[in-house]
Amino acid sequence: QVHLVESGGGLVQPGGSLRLSCAGSGMIFNTNIMGWYRQAPGKERELVAGFNSGGSTNYADSVKGRFTISRDSAKNTLYLQMNSLKPEDTAVYYCNVWWRDNYGTTYREWGQGTQVTISS
């Protein structure tokens, strides 16, 4: 069974840090296209950080210099290091991975989401 499992969310004070992880099973991280999205209450889901098809990273302006996306392909795991967290970073965070099966079919998978709450 194919799925992504996120972990690392929680409640932290402003200025704190969190590291999110997204572990894939039943799939292989065999494309470059993957990233982290977030959705705050009453807002649209937005891209926070991602790798594009060329392997380069891109970040939302609101998180540049504070968040870092990374991956360990050998472990089929995607990470998001979040520093200097602000209350406006509060949201459910989702990982998203594109992968290709042995027949060349490409799939897009979403994790179940992990809550990140920034509050004093």
Q: Note the pLDDT of residue 106.
A: 93
Residue 28 has pLDDT above 90, yes or no: no
Task: Indicate the DSSP class of residue 68.
Answer: E
Of 116, 74, 61, nearest to 94 by C-alpha is 116
Q: Note the pLDDT of residue 115.
A: 98
Q: Using one digit for the tens of pLDDT, what is the confidence trace for 36-53? A: 999 999 999 999 999 998
- Token pair, residue 58, equals 């891109």
3-7 and 57-59: which strand pairing? unpaired
Rounded distance, CA 51 to CA 72, Å? 13
Residue 32 has pLDDT above 90, yes or no: no
Q: Using one digit for the tens of pLDDT, what is the confidence trace for 53-102? A: 898 999 999 999 999 999 998 999 999 999 999 999 999 999 999 999 99
Of 69, 64, 56, 71, nearest to 89 by C-alpha is 64
Q: What is the DSSP string of 11-33?
A: EE-TT--EEEEEEEESS---SS-
Q: Note the pLDDT of residue 12.
A: 98
Q: Note the pLDDT of residue 26.
A: 87
Q: Note the pLDDT of residue 27.
A: 87
Residue 2 has pLDDT above 90, yes or no: no
